[in-house]
Structure 1
Amino acid sequence: MLETRLDTARIRAARHVIDPVFLDTPLYRCEALEPGLRCAVSVKLETANPVRSFKARGTEVIASRLADEGPRAAVCASAGNLGQALAWSGRGRGLDVTVVASRFAPAVKLDRIRALDARLELVDGDFDTARERAVAIARHDGIRLVEDSLDIETCEGAATIGLELVNTAPSFDAVLIALGGGAMATGVGHVLKALAPGVEVICVQPLGAPAMTHSWRQRRVVTTDSTDTIADGVAGRRPIPEVLDDLLLVADDAVLVRESSIIAGMRMLLDHAGLVVEPSAALGVAAILEDRDRFAGRHVVTVVCGGNVDMNAYHRWIGAAPVRGS
């Protein structure tokens, strides 16, 4: 395997600084999903933790290092989940955390960032606009800029998911990973290629936010002018070159899925697994729905990466009555 920026020894060491509440998350075969998907499906559940996403695996590594070495302040741009995770990890270590987000981000995510005692600054625009503002704050205040996927700690923290996958039994044939900035895809992909090279690593992105997938396919950074997807957690326009270089080494495929398939995946996870998930977490199921023949007869793991979703929007998407009194 050609070398990525990641290091397997550092990934193993990361498990010692990540709060155990984020580790060894449930992994189980969900037979109720299988008749509709025509393959064996195991779910790796990353929503059953205090921030309801996998992101704290990375922020725990960053916050631990800042607590030991400084500076004791950090800023990040976030679509919501990274901000919650950094706020949680920073609060537990006495760090001053600022999160920059789009004012159009889901209110439930913004409210949780505030509740975790982080300073929240909202910008007009999307995630990439927030990223530009976070860079400016870090430069002006002389504090740590946390950049998801570019910062190796975010990738190696997410890679601990891969360690848990390869230590399980029975074995599986493919893993489906939501693709946004690329921290989880490169992290989990690195571990699988190093320790279980026979497993197919398939990244999944919405058709309405295809920049990283187009970049992977063309082997160069491809940007887009806008995004149009309900999967806000993966809706970036400007791939990071260093992350793309890693992804090219560990991903076997990158696929795009329709919004209707994402919604159908969310509904299946609710109806057959009892899971309320955000759209990004249903990308794996969406990929199977769009290409059942590819996965027929195989054992597939899908990483259910987040459960921070506005419930009124969720009920609109899955066709239920809206929540009353909210």
Structure 2
Amino acid sequence: MESTRLDIDRIRAARRVIDPVFLDTPLYRCEALEPGLGCAVSVKLETANPVRSFKGRGTEMVASQLAGNGSGAVVCASAGNLGQALAWSGRGRGLDVAVVASRFATAAKLDRIRALGAALELVDGDHEMARERAADIARYEGIRLVEDSLDIETCEGAATIGLELVDTPPSFDTVLIALGGGALATGVGHVVKALAPGVEVICVQPLGAPAMTHSWRQRRVVTTESTDTIADGVAGRRPIPAVLDDLLLVADDAVLVREASIIAGMRLLLDHAGLVVEPSAALGIAAILEDRDRFAGRHVVTVVCGSNVDVDAYHRWVGTARVPGV
């Protein structure tokens, strides 16, 4: 594999920095899902931790470094999960954490950011506007800006998931990873390609937020004017060039899925795995639903990356979901 920004030795070292509460999350074969999907399916459950998403692995890295060099404050833009994770990690290390988010972000995520003690500023636009505002705050106040996916700590923290995947039997031949800014996909993808190169790495993004997938396919940054998806955690419009460069080296494919398939995937995970997940976490299941023939006979691992969901919206979605062929 050509060289990405990530490093296996640093990723292994990250396990000594990250709070163990985020490590060694459940990985198990979920046979109840398999009749409806037509393949062997294992789930890597990144919701069984205090912030209910994988983001804590990366923010633990960031907060540890900041506390170690005497920094007292940090700011990030977030659709919700990164903000919660940074607030949790920063609180434990005495950091002042500020989070900028869209006022249209999931209310439950915003409430949790506040509950964890972070200062929360809302902007009237989307996540890209929040990114711009966070950068302005960092410049004006002279504090650390955490940029998810661009900051290597967020990628290498997420990459520890990959170590756990390749070190745990049974073996698998495909991994499905939600694709947003790219920290999860490049992190897990880097480790899998380095240590289990025969495994196919497939990234999954909503059809209504396709910027990174289009960028991967065209091998150049492609931006979009807007997004239209319930999967708010992956709804970016402006891919980061350095992250795309990494993704091009570790991803075997990037696919787009419809909203109906995302909702059907959420319903399958509820009915057959007992898992309440946010839309981004159902992208892998949605990809299988849309292309059963491709995955037939395979053993697929999907990373269930978050469960921070608005309860009322969740009931609206899964209450009307119809799972094709199940």
Do the structures match in fold with TM over 0.5?
A: yes
Q: CA deviation at 1:72?
A: 1.6
What's 2:116 paired with? 116
1:103 maps to 103
Structure 2 equivalent of residue 299 of structure 1: 299
Count of paired positions: 321
| In 2: Cα distance, 1:71 partner to 1:249 partner | 34
Q: Letter of the aligned partner of 1:221 in structure 2?
A: V
Q: In structure 2, what is the Cα distance between the partners aligned to 1:112 and 1:319?
A: 25
- C-alpha RMSD over aligned residues: 0.8
Distance in 2 separating the partners of 1:193 and 1:298: 18
Unmatched runs of 5 consecutive residues or more in structure 1 = 321-326
Q: Aligned pair 1:279/2:279, yes or no?
A: yes
Determine the C-alpha separation between the residues in 1 that align with 2:69 and 2:215. 36
Structure 1 counterpart SS, 2:238: coil
- Cα deviation, 1:191-215, whole Å, max 9, x if unaligned, reads 0010000000000000000000000
Distance in 2 (alpha carbons) for counterparts of 1:166 and 1:123: 40
Q: Give how far 1:36 is off.
A: 0.2
What's 1:244 paired with? 244
User: In the TM superposition, what are the counterparts of 1:133-144 in structure 2 within 5 Å?
Assistant: 133-144=133-144
Query: Match for residue 170 of structure 2?
Result: 170
State the 1:170 CA deviation: 1.2
Displacement of 1:319 in angstroms is 1.4
- Secondary structure at 2:28 match in 1: strand
- Map 1:1-326; keep pairs closer than 5 Å: 1-319=1-319
Shift of the alpha carbon at 1:70? 3.3
- Determine the C-alpha separation between the residues in 2 that align with 1:168 and 1:48: 18
Q: Quick one: distance in 2 between partners of 1:169 and 1:110?
A: 37
CA–CA distance in 1 between the matches of 2:71 and 2:179? 30
Counterpart CA distance in 1 for 2:199 and 2:33 is 21
Counterpart Cα distance in 2 of 1:111 and 1:48 = 19
Q: Shift of the alpha carbon at 1:274?
A: 0.1
The separation in 1 between residues aligned to 2:71 and 2:247, in whole angstroms, is 30
The one-letter code matched in structure 2 to 1:105 is: A
Secondary structure of 1:170's aligned partner:
coil
Identity of aligned residues (%): 87
- CA displacement, residues 32-91 of structure 1 (integer Å, 9 cap, x when unaligned): 000000000000000010000000000000000000013221000000000000000000
Query: Which deviations, in whole Å up to 9, do the C-alpha atoms of 1:278-307 show, x marking residues without a partner?
Result: 000000000000000000010000000000
- Distance in 1, matches of 2:27 and 2:200, equals 18
Q: With structure 2 as the length reference, what TM-score do the two structures score? A: 0.98
CA displacement 1:87-130 (0-9 Å, x = unmatched): 00000000000000000001000000000000000000000000
Q: Which amino acid aligns with 2:282?
A: A
State TM-score, norm by structure 1: 0.98
Query: Runs of 4+ in structure 1 displaced over 2 angstroms?
Result: none
Q: What whole-Å deviation, never above 9, does each CA across 1:3-22 have from its counterpart, x for those lacking one?
A: 00000000000000100000
What SS class does the counterpart of residue 254 from structure 1 fall into?
A: strand
SS in 2 for 1:150: coil
Gapped regions of structure 2 (runs ≥ 5) = 321-326
Instruction: Give the counterpart letter for 1:134 in structure 2.
Output: A
1:255 alignment partner, SS class: strand
**Partner AA of 1:164 in structure 2:** E
Match of 1:323? none
Q: Secondary structure at the match of 1:139?
A: helix
SS in structure 1 opposite 2:134?
Answer: helix
Letter of the structure 1 residue corresponding to residue 233 of structure 2: G
